[in-house]
Amino acid sequence: MRYTNLLYLPPLNNDYMTVGLFIPCYIDQFYPNAAIATLNLLKKLGVDVVYPTRQTCCGQPMANSGFEHLTQGCNDLFIDNFSQFDYIVSPSGSCVLHIKDHLHAENNEEKATEVRKKVYELTEFLTDVLKVEQLTASFPHKVGVHQSCHGQRGLMLAQMTELVAAPYSKPMHLLNMVAGLEIVTLNRPDECCGFGGTFCVAEEAVSVKMGKDRVSDHLHNGAEFITAADMSCLMHMEGILRRQKSNVKVMHIAEILNAQEFN
């Protein structure tokens, strides 16, 4: 199955590469636009992308709740769906980290290891594999970047403020290629938003307070949009923004990297 869209940029050396698109369950159900943007962005960059339609969830909600032993069904399904691809790409740092850290096979651990090695978060794939240096996107807005913890501290998508080490950020590197976009500076550049999976209801009070504080940092620094490489953090912050009747919107980074919005 070959389906390649070469309209915007010259093809990279991706001719023999087929990418399996892994769309986490809550993005599939609630944020299809983030998934569509991911698909279109990858196609725009000349990548052959396939979405295996029998996929569901990585199993993280159960594992993080202490029920990793119930995730074999999810693991088996994931391996069935994705082991044939050269790369697996997903617009969620958190779900990718879960696969990388916790995917195991009942019988064929070699196959699971292979899957764990070839799964990439979207901005990581664009930066490290495709080595994207330019994008044709335009998004003339002030954008606050939320550094989702699992992407940042787990997948090391960006340097962490706790460490004494040289700064870098894969998501910001890409956002800086978007015409008209201005990244706002936050007071706390990498504090957790408090979503935390089932934590968001199990520890409702602290979860909400963390979310309110994160949102207010973006608002005080003039963000019109809050973006992230993880839709789950954005879903949590969106819930708070909408309850506050704020005009500020959340938007997955794929939608911004794919945006064609002009003044």
Nearer to other proteins among residue 116 and residue 142 (C-beta): 116
- Least distance (Å) between residue 204 CB and other proteins: 4
Own/partner pairs, 239-246, CB within 8 angstroms, 24+ separation: 239/211, 240/208, 240/211, 240/212, 240/215, 241/215, 244/215, 246/215, 246/219
- Least distance (Å) between residue 1 CB and other proteins: 7
Nearer to other proteins among residue 31 and residue 181 (C-beta): 31
Residue 70 to residue 84: CA distance in whole angstroms: 24
The token duo for 263 is 């003044």
The CA-CA-CA angle for residues 249, 124, 64, to 5°, reads 75
- Least distance (Å) between residue 134 CB and other proteins: 26
- Least distance (Å) between residue 77 CB and other proteins: 6
Nearer to other proteins among residue 9 and residue 163 (C-beta): 163
Nearer to other proteins among residue 117 and residue 242 (C-beta): 242
Phi then psi for residue 182, to 5 deg, are: -120, 125
Residue 234 to residue 228: CA distance in whole angstroms: 7
